[in-house]
Amino acid sequence: MMRQLLLLCTGLLFACSAYAHKPSDSYLSLKVSGSVIDGQWDIALRDLDFAIGLDADGDANITWGEVKAKHNDIAAYAFSRLAVAADGHDCPLQVSDHLIDDHTDGAYAVLRFSANCEQTIERLQARYSLLFDVDPQHKGLLRLEFKGSTRTGVFTPESANQEFAMGSVGKFAQFVDYLREGVWHIWIGFDHILFLLALLLPAVVYRREGKWLAVDGLKPAFFSVLKIVTAFTLAHSITLSLATLGVVSLPSRWVESVIAASVVIAALNNIFPLFRDRRWAMAFGFGLIHGFGFASVLSDLGLPGDTLVLALVGFNVGVEAGQLAIVAGFLPLAYLLRKTIFYRRIVLIGGSFLIAMLAAIWLAERALDMKVLPS
């Protein structure tokens, strides 16, 4: 059991170290009408610069002129990694316009395109492989419109080929789509996970005369976890809703930097206790900022108003389900090991120190827009 927990913690830390920045996403919109597909594909300039090189003069500032000079290369690179078909018949994609747009995390190249298929589309197949060869964490976020209904999908290396029936989509099916996306978002949100774990590590112990001692029973540990998870859930649900509905907006770099700082503070609190039994207050305060991080996916998808509330509820439920799965996996192991020196010294103190160091590097990378950790 000790070995399993150690492997869980070290494996998570090594995985996190490779992906300090906001996950790489692109935003693909397809509108199907009869046999015609109209599309828009937003791809981050930083990703295109990494893949094909946009910064011609090397001054770390990508200009419109540099992007314009690479229009043909951008289109060739992108559309060699995207294919759509109708009922098994390929639909060639034709670029109609090149634009630039700003998302919450920076500037994006916008490719507008269309495809004329041979017949009315009943089932749409899509194959997506952008950046998968260089960034296995990259995701393609799909918004598909057909006869007034909207559904979403997420392309990953494991789900690069997807098929969609062009019939009407029920509200429950849309809800499940957004719920699944919420679960996936929290599971790959390593900064959110480490913030939560840093708060939960002391849940099975208590501090007396400068030492961590094991709790006597499961009840105090359970209620400690319950307070932290409830505070975090309530806080990020508030700001997730406000940000997604457009009531409040904050700069992405500021949000991501504060999230990294929250991980540092939560981890150091286990070594130099300041909040002691008020970790739930820390969970609520910083949870408000984490909510803006969760909202970035839904905001950038640009979902229509009639779908937005459904997306918001489903996504939030998915985040909570993914969060509870993490807690359910961690708490039993931590409770069983709470009396051991291994847990109190290696996992709690040593793990908190590693989390703090890793998050400090994230903070430097995000605040200063620099690269320290390897991809």
Reading the chain (375 residues) residue by residue, the pLDDT tens digits are: 445 444 444 444 444 444 444 557 899 999 999 999 999 999 999 899 989 999 888 887 889 999 999 999 999 999 999 999 998 899 999 999 999 998 767 789 999 999 999 888 989 999 999 999 888 878 898 888 888 777 777 888 888 999 988 866 667 777 887 888 788 778 777 888 999 999 999 999 988 877 888 999 889 999 999 999 999 999 999 998 888 888 888 888 889 899 999 999 999 999 988 776 788 999 999 999 999 888 877 776 666 666 777 778 888 898 899 999 999 999 999 999 999 999 999 999 999 999 999 999 988 888 876 665 544
- pLDDT given at position 239: 92
- CB neighbour list of residue 73: distance below 8 Å, 6 or more residues apart: 52
pLDDT in tens, 293-330: 888 777 766 666 667 777 788 888 988 999 999 999 99
Give domain status of residue 91, yes or no.
yes
- pLDDT given at position 99: 94
Range of the domain at 345: 2-20+189-368
- CB neighbour list of residue 259: distance below 8 Å, 6 or more residues apart: 191, 192, 195, 286, 289, 290, 293
Token readout for 70 is 């690479």
Answer yes or no: do 11 and 105 share one domain.
no
Q: Which of 155, 133, 131, 132 is nearest to 143 (CA)?
A: 155
Q: Side-chain half-sphere of 362: how many Cα atoms within 13 Å?
A: 34
Give domain status of residue 374, yes or no.
no
Answer yes or no: do 14 and 41 share one domain.
no
Answer yes or no: do 197 and 342 share one domain.
yes
pTM for this structure?
0.73
Give domain status of residue 375, yes or no.
no
Cα distances (angstroms) measured from residue 367 to each of 18, 36, 251, 255, 261: 18, 44, 12, 10, 10
Give domain status of residue 177, yes or no.
no
Answer yes or no: do 154 and 243 share one domain.
no
Answer yes or no: do 15 and 48 share one domain.
no
Query: Where on the phi/psi map is residue 195: left (φ > 0), alpha (ψ -120 to 50), or beta?
Result: alpha
End-to-end CA distance of the chain: 31
Answer yes or no: do 154 and 195 share one domain.
no
Answer yes or no: do 313 and 212 share one domain.
yes
Give domain status of residue 176, yes or no.
no
* Helix (H) or strand (E) segment spanning residue 46: helix 45-52
Helix (H, G, I), strand (E, B) or coil at 107: strand
340 close to 2: Cβ distance less than 8 angstroms = yes
Give domain status of residue 51, yes or no.
yes
Give domain status of residue 33, yes or no.
yes
pLDDT in tens, 251-286: 888 898 999 999 999 999 999 887 767 889 999 999
Q: Which of 284, 289, 286, 294 is nearest to 320 (CA)?
A: 294
- pLDDT given at position 5: 46
Answer yes or no: do 240 and 350 share one domain.
yes
What are the beta bridge partners of residue 161? 127
Three-class DSSP labels, 122-152: CEEEEEECCCCCCCCCCEEEEEEEECCEEEE
Query: Looking at the chain, how many residues does it have?
Result: 375
- pLDDT given at position 18: 41
CA dist 67 and 53 (Å) reads 10
Answer yes or no: do 142 and 255 share one domain.
no
Please report, to the nearest 10 degrees, the dihedral formed by the alpha carbons of residues 248, 253, 254, 257 taken in order. Answer: 130
Strands (E), the chain: 25-33, 36-44, 82-86, 89-90, 94-103, 106-116, 123-128, 139-146, 149-155, 161-165, 205-208, 211-214
Of the residues 109, 140, 169, which one is the last residue of a structural domain?
169
For the chain, the domain total comes to 2
